[in-house]
Structure 1
Amino acid sequence: MGKLAISQEELEITLNGIDVGIMLVDSAGRIVFANHKAGLLLGCAGYEMVGNRFGEFMRRVVAPNIMSSDGFTGWVDIVDCALPFSGEDLKFDCQVEYESKGQKRILKLVAIPVQRPGQSSLKTVITISLMSHGDGSLQDVLESDMLGSGWNGFSYGPYTPLIDQADIDRDIIASKEMRVIFRITQEMRKLLDLDDLLKHILSIVSTEMRYTDCSILLPDEDGQNLVMSAGLGMSQELIGIRIPRGIGISWWVMEHGQPQNVPDVKVDHRYYPGAPEVASEVYVPLEVRGKRLGVLVVQKPEKYGFTPTDVKLLMAVAGHIASALEVAQLHSQVKKAAETDSLTGLYNRSSTVCALDRFIESAKQHKGPECISIILLDVDRLKYINDNYGHLAGDRVLVHIAQSLTRGFRADDIVGRFGGDEFIVLLPGVRPELAGERIQQIISDWLDATLTDPAGRQIPVPSASFGIACYPVDGAESRLLVAAADNKLLAAKAKAYENIR
């Protein structure tokens, strides 16, 4: 096709008559023309595209409608970076999925530079078409000098976009924020267990906000470590990791209450190594009523993975996440108070028996260890200490013994306070012989300690008697096992009394 002289009006009519989306972008990155089909295919019909910067418009208005937005925004970034350059024979294309009126479609997007004689600035034509479509008239336009001659007439005046970028950001953030708030509210009604709530919150962050790699860090009871309490994606394998106070970006955010967008974790001296695939992260404080409860972290495997809009969006929902977290933590504290002994912090009698019932049921269904040993332990001469050194000294002894038992057994074992001077230990998967050896060693260790009362007087550290029963040999129900252990405890105490006599 030969060279044609064409006016701006004729070029607009020609391009609007093509069944392919067309955008003309100048070297400053501004959209100077977009035909009707472009708006329809990109899902932004009704928006005024002309006068807006190509990169901003595509990321903020178009990308939320695109299913494979990561690949799409990557293509936009490449084209955006190439726009200011000249004299390059560049062509960028990509294939993206999007959804319109409930139907999935595949778009082919091509960016082609167009040079005009006597000018060094690179001009670009963006074509948008369905993969199933082709259009011969488009090829005629591209292969002719229509664009070169017609471009001269395009005029848009000073940069006064009809779409305010801040309004676009606010609309996107408000839309996603409302969806997240709605989902979190639903979860708060159904879930009060802290661990379950954390998992569901991250699921919401992943599905509604498209941050598939994320985690929540909470301070431990002493406030000396941040514990990764839940994680998805790259962080899932790191659940339970503890970050000491003052170390890492998460602690910085926890202490300063300010979000951090880290484009390259390797060059930030505060970074505490986690998943090796992580390249960029955003840290957001979870704060409610001036109290910081933890930190939400989102990650990407590529550098510069997050924009200021990501930070705004995460900050917008962080307060609602913190509110849900506060409710769950309060429920957890109430539940813990109902299940634990206030003096020692151990499980109380009722919660220990419930745990034993669960162990037995798992064993019966072959879902847990088939052997369960229980130790019932009675502290010797505690009344003597209370009568001669005071009840505060007696409490000091009980706390010491509780701590010794907790340290001496496995994390999966259950240690509880059964009564005034009695303790109970549940040992799934442990034979009675091994249970007896272990408790004897623990008693020996706690006897070596030196305890003093509030006045500074040394308190004698008492020993203890114990009885051991085992499921299923000594009973198939918790009450039978406790009774069997109690009988053996009484026998042990009687024997010790006889030895003293």
Structure 2
Amino acid sequence: MAKSKVITMWVIWLVAFPSLVTYAYMEFKPDFSEQWLDLLAFAIVICAVAVFPIKVGNITVFFSNGVSLAAFLYFGLFVELILIQLSLVVLFVKINLKKDEAHRIPTNSTMFLLTSVISAWVYYALGGTHGILTFDTVEQVIPLVGYIVAIILVNQIFLSVFQWYMHGENLLAYPKSLLIDSGATLLAFPLGLVLYLMYVQIEAIAVFFVGVPFILLSIVFSYYHNTQLINKYLHTTSEIGHELSKSLNVKSVLDTFLDEIKYLIPASNIYVFDVSNESRMMDLIRFMDQEGNQLKKDLKLFRGEGFAGSVYEREKSIMMMRKKDIDQLNPEELPDETKSVMGVPIQRSGKIVGVLTVSSNELNAYEKYHLMLLEILANFLSVAIENARHYESAKTKSQRDQLTNLYNYRYFIEHIDEYAKDLEAKGIKENLSVIILDIDSFKAINDEHGHESGNEVLIELANRLERLFGHYGIIARYGGEEFTVLIKGMPHNDVIQIAEDIRYSIASEPFILYKTIDGNVEVQEINVTASIGVSTYPDQCETPQELIRNADRSMYVGAKRNGKNKVASIV
């Protein structure tokens, strides 16, 4: 919110408050010499009502209008002004007004002041008076009706104006929050009138007799609204769980989780720790700051260390709302300005596998239902991560060769096919090349050194290809002792040179075998060569799907049959 707007509201309040209160006192000169106990009773009831507000959007609704109506009818404008302002003080204390919401003090105070004064002018203009009234004549009823209508209309007008000025909302819109505020005002006025009539008859004791229903009404509506709010949050939480279930990898799960949780739970910072039960160490795997940025932050905590470590050690959720309690844990992971924090363990199969922490720079930022929501979200996160890991594991097994961990034949073929279709759909012409290599005399290696040694050669060859040529494209184990490389967007002659580099990297450096004989490890070096075939689309074939067949033919016809340890390509 613009600082200039906040300053403007404070200036208006500093002018309006003393002026209007002084005006009301000087104009009506109230005499309370024998009614201080009565006024105290009104003050107690209106403050009790303010303890149970209802927050709807940017508006806080409470049933103080009924009490203030009774006070206005008997004592006049000055008493009503003071009682309303007193109830606002209690309200702000109750809702724990945040620092960035301080503008609500002048805004609400000014709005209630102006509403009271304008409504009183309407009341007086229609011939209204104070003291003992019976409302058995039209002359007394009309001012009362005018006063009630004026309060509702003027209050709604000022609410709309302030919402427009402070929050940029549509000036002509009539949101649900304003409708609820009007309904609460209409509901409070009949009770206020009953309070007034009983006060005329039995004085101060009537304030408490009728005040109790006021307080109970406030409690019932407040708890009902809070229940509806919690149900709404639970529904949102369920939707987050549904969104998490759609994510098929751990990174996507965590990204989705942090993006969604910031809209549900107020937080300056969010932390997700991964627990290693073997080392009793926690690693920070996700961190989000108050601007919503997901940042990389290297942090490790031992069990019992810091706030998150305490959650891990106690194996239960922790919520702290006082800075001195937080500081006692020496939470090095939390910023110094942290004033409220919650942490919940992430459990799986009865074991703690992580810790979820949210912190706020505001005092008393959280309530018990926030902790409940966080615990539910932690369970959703645990299940979603586990499902994603299972999916990733299954996907890896279906795409990767078990021995070398390179891509397998199936993935290689499917990738070429999908990529070719994508190019065709987009109308893009791009070179695609396949390099296929076969280890020369691999059967002889197995016969002479054993199949385990043959596997060692395959693993070492895969490692060399990945290390030296993995940046060029996709490398796969085609089957047996054959390997393939897919290279995109490169001229055929350049691909031929890469194939020569591959051939040389295999032939120039011996492969080391380790044999264990009678408990002793024997190291042996063997020389390995490979025959290589290359094919490029569209230079050597009409469709990308023909690449492997042409490369394979080039390898056998042009390399194997011409002495091996060569690179060949069909021109």
**Aligned sequence identity (%):** 20
Question: Whole-Å Cα distance in 1 between the matches of residues 417 and 338 of structure 2?
Answer: 43
TM-score normalized with structure 1 length: 0.59
Q: Given that residues 271 and 356 in structure 2 are in contact (C-alpha distance below 8 angstroms), is that contact kept between their aligned partners in structure 1?
A: yes
Which aligned pairs between 1:302-381 and structure 2 lie closer than 5 A? 307=366, 313-366=373-426, 370-381=430-441
The answer on 1:452 being equivalent to 2:514 is: yes
Q: Give 1 or 2: higher strand fraction.
A: 1
Please point out which of 473, 476, 480 is paired with 2:546.
480
**Cα displacement (A) at 1:307:** 4.5
Once the two structures are superposed, residues 331-362 of structure 1 have per-residue CA deviations (whole angstroms, 9 ceiling, x without a partner) of 22122212211112222111122222233234
Q: Given that residues 216 and 230 in structure 1 are in contact (C-alpha distance below 8 angstroms), is that contact kept between their aligned partners in structure 2?
A: yes
Q: Given that residues 272 and 354 in structure 2 are in contact (C-alpha distance below 8 angstroms), is that contact kept between their aligned partners in structure 1?
A: yes
Q: Given that residues 373 and 470 in structure 1 are in contact (C-alpha distance below 8 angstroms), is that contact kept between their aligned partners in structure 2?
A: yes
**Cα displacement (A) at 1:470:** 2.5
User: Structure 1 residues 209, 254: closer, same or farther in 2, change over 3 A?
Assistant: closer
Once the two structures are superposed, residues 66-90 of structure 1 have per-residue CA deviations (whole angstroms, 9 ceiling, x without a partner) of xxx99448968xx9xxxxxxxxxxx
User: Structure 1 residues 467, 104: closer, same or farther in 2, change over 3 A?
Assistant: farther
Which aligned pairs between 1:79-478 and structure 2 lie closer than 5 A? 103=176, 175=231, 178-187=234-243, 190-209=246-265, 228=285, 236=293, 238=295, 241=296, 243=298, 270-271=332-333, 285-294=345-354, 296=356, 307=366, 313-366=373-426, 370-410=430-470, 413-441=473-501, 444-445=504-505, 447=509, 450-455=512-517, 456-459=521-524, 460=526, 462-475=528-541, 477-478=543-544
Once the two structures are superposed, residues 227-268 of structure 1 have per-residue CA deviations (whole angstroms, 9 ceiling, x without a partner) of 857979856564xx5848669989958975677889899x97
Gaps of 5+ in 2: 1-24, 65-86, 109-161, 186-203, 567-571
Letter of the aligned partner of 2:539 in structure 1? V
Letter of the aligned partner of 2:448 in structure 1? N
**Cα displacement (A) at 1:366:** 4.7
Q: Given that residues 53 and 61 in structure 2 are in contact (C-alpha distance below 8 angstroms), is that contact kept between their aligned partners in structure 1?
A: no
Please point out which of 471, 492, 495 is paired with 2:559.
492
**Cα displacement (A) at 1:35:** 9.8
Once the two structures are superposed, residues 266-291 of structure 1 have per-residue CA deviations (whole angstroms, 9 ceiling, x without a partner) of x9785499xxx999987655332244
**Cα displacement (A) at 1:58:** 1.3
Letter of the aligned partner of 1:496 in structure 2? G
SS in 1 for 2:485: strand
Letter of the aligned partner of 1:351 in structure 2? Y
Aligned to 1:42: 60
User: Structure 1 residues 246, 371: closer, same or farther in 2, change over 3 A?
Assistant: farther
Letter of the aligned partner of 1:179 in structure 2? H
| Aligned length, in residue pairs | 407
The answer on 1:58 being equivalent to 2:95 is: yes
Question: Bigger shift: 434-443 or 335-344?
Answer: 434-443
Coordinate RMSD, CA, aligned = 5.8
**Cα displacement (A) at 1:322:** 0.7
Q: Give 1 or 2: higher helix fraction.
A: 2
Once the two structures are superposed, residues 305-344 of structure 1 have per-residue CA deviations (whole angstroms, 9 ceiling, x without a partner) of 9647555642342022211221222122122212211112
Question: Bigger shift: 316-325 or 222-231?
Answer: 222-231
User: Structure 1 residues 106, 339: closer, same or farther in 2, change over 3 A?
Assistant: same
Question: Whole-Å Cα distance in 2 between the matches of residues 443 and 255 of structure 1?
Answer: 53
User: Structure 1 residues 23, 270: closer, same or farther in 2, change over 3 A?
Assistant: same
Q: Given that residues 307 and 330 in structure 2 are in contact (C-alpha distance below 8 angstroms), is that contact kept between their aligned partners in structure 1?
A: no
TM-score normalized with structure 2 length: 0.53
Aligned to 2:3: none
User: Structure 1 residues 352, 428: closer, same or farther in 2, change over 3 A?
Assistant: same
SS in 2 for 1:453: strand
SS in 1 for 2:401: coil
**Cα displacement (A) at 1:442:** 5.0
Once the two structures are superposed, residues 350-403 of structure 1 have per-residue CA deviations (whole angstroms, 9 ceiling, x without a partner) of 112222223323433459882333221222332222222222222222122222
SS in 2 for 1:321: helix
Once the two structures are superposed, residues 151-196 of structure 1 have per-residue CA deviations (whole angstroms, 9 ceiling, x without a partner) of xx99x9xxxx9979xx99x969964662244214433665545554
Question: Whole-Å Cα distance in 2 between the matches of residues 431 and 253 of structure 1?
Answer: 59
Letter of the aligned partner of 2:261 in structure 1? V
SS in 2 for 1:457: strand
Question: Whole-Å Cα distance in 2 between the matches of residues 230 and 475 of structure 1?
Answer: 50
Q: Given that residues 39 and 45 in structure 1 are in contact (C-alpha distance below 8 angstroms), is that contact kept between their aligned partners in structure 2?
A: no
**Cα displacement (A) at 1:473:** 2.6
User: Structure 1 residues 163, 402: closer, same or farther in 2, change over 3 A?
Assistant: farther
Which aligned pairs between 1:19-30 and structure 2 lie closer than 5 A? none
Once the two structures are superposed, residues 425-463 of structure 1 have per-residue CA deviations (whole angstroms, 9 ceiling, x without a partner) of 222333444444445445555635534234433342523
Which is greater in Rg? Answer: 2
